Structure 1
Amino acid sequence: MNEPFGARLRRAMDERGPLCVGIDPHAALLAEWGLADDVAGLERFSRTVVEAVADRVAVVKPQSAFFERFGSRGIAVLEQTVAAARAAGALVVMDAKRGDIGSTMAAYAESFLRPDAPLYSDALTVSPYLGYGSLKPAVDLARESGCGLFVLALTSNPEGGEVQHAVREDGRTVGATVLARLAAENAGAEPLGSFGAVVGATLGDLSAYDLGINGPLLAPGIGAQGAAPADLPRVFGSALRDVVPNVSRGVLRHGPDVSALRGSADRFADEIRSVLAAA
């Protein structure tokens, strides 16, 4: 078994800073870069982002959907992107948000968390909204292979609240229940558990929720979605050190110039470090 994801992530965050850069080659960004909306454009975009940031940021997060839309050739580019990013020293979180039951969930887990799989990644985003227990095949394989999961808990999209803020019979919200289940998964793990939550950086005061899950908190929303590194202490409070802020468009809009991409990633990383040091 590999060293657990949580331990590898903590070391990467300590050495490189906690920034995660998304790799989101959607059509509008390809056009902004002067690239065609085709496989060649996809490959050029992804290769450039990896070249620019994978040797300096802790985490990169490819969004699988933007590769899948090109079919098998797009998936081949995704395989190349994952392998190149990991070879450059970045941890790869595959943003696929998979969620299903039984053998189907097991197959999704094997696609991304089995060490000999072509799309093998350090961690995978998953959805618990078929019931947290439906994630068991992914949890089990992640433990076995030393990978991690990021479970959707408190997402920043407006629609998420109708499920995540719904109150159960025991008085807890669904989102709070997901966090509690993750805390149980991470019990006793050192220096950090491998089972994280996705918690939006745009959500404001979350003091009503116990974010102390002894695992990482992937925080989308920095940059184009309106949140800034300075907002992180107010949102995450005492769990700040475990936050992995994600920036996608805020960095990617500076392409295709490699030095500009690097400069943007470095500025976000430095700003996040300053926030952590002052907290």
Structure 2
Amino acid sequence: MPEPAGLPVGRSPFGERLAGAMAARGPLCVGVDPHPSLLAAWGLTDDAEGLRRFSAAVLEGVADVAAALKPQVALYERHGSAGIAALEELLAASADAGLLTIADAKRGDIGSTMAAYAEAWLGEGSPLAADAVTLSPYLGFESLRPALDTAAETGRGVFVLALTSNPEGASVQHVGGEASVARRIVDAAAAENRRYAGAERGHGSVGLVVGATVGDAIGRLGLDLAAMGGPILAPGLGAQGATPAVLKETFGAAYTRVLGTSSRDILAGGPGPQGVRARAERTLEGLRG
């Protein structure tokens, strides 16, 4: 199966790049979540300058340890244009450091609005373009088409919300039993990955967000994550209660495609890059064990 024609020079598809980073460094994604309380704990001001200093320290700490960095977009947006500028700086600095980025924006809309989101987060030349972006499919998976196509054209990726661990998520995602909403999202992602080369090796560029603390829901809903063909972003490692052992039990045969994501537990190692790095290395050791 071919890759889309016209990928930017020197850029392989996101799924291939992420698989390479996970093989070289390990399956760890570090969330960059500049909560006001965390900025205060680090002795930083809750403003754009505080965001810049926080982001730079996290990047310095994990640039050669993590496979990817995941900034929480909302925590930059709360500072308006100055906060967005700080996010743009982090994305650019991460690219310079050779670290993949996943913009945790959870965008989802229809038509021209979705196309605009796709251009912002995945379009070539956009200052907000990350290597991948999180998407919400609850206006219908096909409503994400502009982002799916833009990602394929630019060699970037997406992570589609499939099975989240917040209690409210079950009221939507679990509906339908064996024909659940979650299963339809998983099947749609698998079909999208089959359009391009690499999915048969698990290197597709359409990934899923599946909470690290979903327990036995994967089995109960009959989700075949191992056959989905793309990566799995699993937030909830550390402070939210999931351990590497929990991830291995929860994901089973799909564990080799899981990108374990930790934010608060690793960021609590600050202020400064050394403590963040130490916690990231400890988490990574557990994921590899």
* TM-score normalized with structure 2 length: 0.92
Aligned partner (choices 238, 241, 245) of residue 253 of structure 2 = 238
Correspondence 1:263 to 2:278: yes
Q: Distance in 2 between matches of 1:254 and 1:211?
A: 33
Q: Which residue of 1 aligns with 2:209?
A: 198
Q: Which residue of 2 aligns with 1:189?
A: 197
Q: What percent of counterpart residues are identical? A: 55
Q: Which residue of 1 aligns with 2:174?
A: 165
Report SS of the residue matched to 2:287. Answer: helix
Q: Distance in 2 between matches of 1:221 and 1:56?
A: 19
Aligned partner (choices 170, 173, 186) of residue 179 of structure 1 = 186
Correspondence 1:39 to 2:48: yes
| Offset at residue 29 of structure 1 (A) | 0.6
Pick which of 213-222 and 251-260 moved more: 251-260
* 2:184 partner letter: T
Decide whether the 8 Å contact of 2:25 with 2:64 is kept in 1: no
Q: Distance in 2 between matches of 1:8 and 1:39?
A: 31
Unaligned runs of 5+ in 1: 275-279
Q: Deviations over 1:158-202 (max 9, x none)?
A: 11111101118xx50000100000011111632410000000010
Q: Which residue of 1 aligns with 2:33?
A: 24
Correspondence 1:94 to 2:103: yes
Q: Deviations over 1:36-63 (max 9, x none)?
A: 2111211111111111112321100001
| Offset at residue 112 of structure 1 (A) | 0.9
User: Residues 65-80 of structure 1: matches in 2 within 5 Å?
Assistant: 65-80=74-89
- RMSD over equivalenced CA pairs, Å: 1.1
Pick which of 77-86 and 186-195 moved more: 186-195
Decide whether the 8 Å contact of 1:16 with 1:56 is kept in 2: yes
Decide whether the 8 Å contact of 1:20 with 1:57 is kept in 2: yes
Unaligned runs of 5+ in 2: 1-6
| Offset at residue 97 of structure 1 (A) | 0.2
Q: Deviations over 1:6-52 (max 9, x none)?
A: 00000000001010000000111111111121112111111111111
Aligned partner (choices 91, 107, 132) of residue 123 of structure 1 = 132
Aligned partner (choices 215, 218, 225) of residue 211 of structure 1 = 225
Q: Distance in 1 between matches of 2:197 and 2:106?
A: 24
Correspondence 1:4 to 2:19: no
* 1:19 partner letter: L
Decide whether the 8 Å contact of 1:56 with 1:90 is kept in 2: no
| Offset at residue 115 of structure 1 (A) | 1.7
Q: Deviations over 1:215-270 (max 9, x none)?
A: 00000010000000111121101111000000000100111132111111111111
| Offset at residue 123 of structure 1 (A) | 0.3
Report SS of the residue matched to 2:171. Answer: helix
Q: Distance in 2 between matches of 1:40 and 1:139?
A: 34
Pick which of 203-212 and 26-35 moved more: 203-212
Q: Distance in 2 between matches of 1:41 and 1:229?
A: 31
Report SS of the residue matched to 1:95. Answer: strand
| Offset at residue 107 of structure 1 (A) | 0.2
Q: Which residue of 2 aligns with 1:277?
A: none
Q: Distance in 1 between matches of 2:42 and 2:191?
A: 44
Report SS of the residue matched to 1:222. Answer: coil
